[in-house]
Amino acid sequence: MTGRPRAPHEQGSDNGIDRGGVSRSPRSGDSVAAQQETAAEVAQAGRASSAGGTAGTPQADRLSSEPRRQRLLDELRDNGVRHNPQDIVAIGRNGAGDVIFLENGNSRAGLLHITERHAGDFANVGVPENKVGALVFTAVTQGTEVGAQRTRPIYEVEFEGRTYRLAVSVGSNGFIVGANPVGH
């Protein structure tokens, strides 16, 4: 092991499962409508959190129907992707059918990293901190890739009636590492 601290998606249970990629094929029952439903639930959770919590709190943790959420968590586990189910803020599929998830994370990766590094950038484009997670997840699961910022694809997405462009880093395992708004 290197001296590099492990990111939250690399840490896991003591079961010795290695990190790995996720299946590229959608599971039966996860239609485009179901993907859109997940993103809508994330956006709703962001709106609900503005009433007293922040994205990433237990209030916002149950963003998908429990059976569907559990199927996606099971898929992460079955594919050897290290994750902490209690730390996952949002989980769903992107347009290619890949499982995508956003964890609370830490100062190096995940929602905490995004808000610590870019809350001001999001505020400058009109996105309060408690809606950042919902916007980022919606961009990856529903947005259209329109360019790149270094190694990060740029997604364009409509969120709460406005169009945003976000550069988002997603690991090969589906973990959302970082994100920032661009071109506003």
Does some domain include residue 99? yes
The pLDDT score that the predictor gives to residue 47 is 38
Helix 32-49 and helix 132-142, axial crossing angle in degrees, nearest 10: 170
Domains held by the chain: number? 1
| The pLDDT value given to residue 64 | 53
pLDDT for 68 equals 86
Instruction: Tell if the pTM clears 0.95, that is, is over it.
Output: no
Query: In this structure, is residue 24 part of a structural domain?
Result: no
18, part of any domain: no
Other Cβ atoms less than 10 A from the Cβ of 18: the count is: 9
pLDDT of residue 38: 46
Strand order in the sheet with 162-170: 144-149, 152-159, 162-170, 176-181
Question: What's the pLDDT score for residue 80?
Answer: 86
The verdict on residue 56 lying in a domain is yes
Residue 139 lies in a domain: yes
Contact 75, 99 (CB under 8 A): yes
Token pair 């959302």 in the structure block, residue = 176
Mean pLDDT of each 10-residue bin along the chain, 184 residues long: 39 28 33 44 41 36 68 89 89 92 92 95 95 96 94 94 96 94 82
User: Would you call 40 helix, strand, or coil by DSSP?
Assistant: helix
Please report the pLDDT score of residue 184 as a whole number.
60
**Is there a domain that residue 121 lies in?**
yes
Asked if the structure places residue 165 within a domain, the reply is: yes
Tell me, yes or no, whether 10 lies in a domain.
no
Q: Which domain holds residue 70?
A: 32-181
